Amino acid sequence: MLRIANIEKRFGPIEVLRGVDFDVDAGEAVALVGDNGAGKSTLMKIITGVYRASGGEVVLDGRTITGIAPGEIRTLGIEMIYQNLELAREQDVTTNIFLGREPTRRIAGFDTGIIDHAKARREAERMVRQLGARVPSVDIRVGNLSGGQQQSVAIARALTFSPKVVIMDEPTAALAVREIEHVLQLIKELKGRGISVILISHRLTDVFEVADRIVALRQGKVIADEKTGETTMQRVVSHIVGAH
């Protein structure tokens, strides 16, 4: 589904990424791990079009998307959920899910441009229900939800784009244990739908629960790409810190 081929990124004389290669299959969860400064964030910004690669290419479902604008990449099927979630916390769940792409009313086949609030609410309820999200009501203000519930809203919003790949940046950071389990279950739900997931996380217990493969970055290079069932947490830590 997604191929990262020999990606390089330089900022002047500083080489941040040095020929990064890995693939993500449809319905596969790949964890991207590495210490701060390993190049994870830079790589994600290249995949989503925020940065232009200095070399190499990103291929989505057989199409090269290197250098395409972020909006078009999103339309083609890559959705990023940032650690801060980027939710409008003063607005309700429905508004957040459809923010900027609200369904509108059609009369006699013509789009009136008038927001169809009833349809938006129905669709929001359907998405939340199908996702199994523990959100008490789509009318509740997002700022009143727990961290795990807000993560659910962010995932529901991502699904409105019918993504092929969802990138999640530290989705379980600062969550309570019960909420972490729920978010991990949501990741499994995405996989079950055939959606590919790239999980950036420092929580290796979470990584080992949901990831099919673990890709370790160090100093801008992939230094390990292993199936989760064929490695150990100690081995992954050694990849991250360079203690071989």
Mean pLDDT computed over every residue of the chain: 89
Judged against a pLDDT cut of 60, whether residue 42 lies above it is answered with yes
Reduce the secondary structure of 17-58 to three states and give it as a string: EEEEEEEECCCCEEEEECCCCCCHHHHHHHHCCCCCCCEEEE
Instruction: Give the pLDDT score at 244.
Output: 56
For residue range 5-30, list pLDDT tens digits in order.
999 999 999 999 999 999 999 999 99
- Residue 36's pLDDT is what? 85
CA nearest to 102, candidates 88, 123, 76:
123
Q: Say which range, 11-20, 64-73, 82-91, 134-143, has the weakest mean pLDDT.
A: 82-91
Which tokens sit at 55? 């070399």
Which residue is associated with the tokens 């795990």? 148
Using one digit for the tens of pLDDT, what is the confidence trace for 101-144? 888 888 877 777 788 888 999 989 988 887 777 788 999 999 99
pLDDT digits (tens, 9 = 90+) for 209-238: 999 999 999 999 999 999 999 999 999 999
Cα Rg, the chain, nearest whole Å? 19
pLDDT of 167: 93
Q: Say what the pLDDT of residue 50 is.
A: 92
Query: Which pLDDT tens digit goes with each residue over 169-210?
Result: 888 887 778 788 888 888 898 899 899 999 999 899 999 999
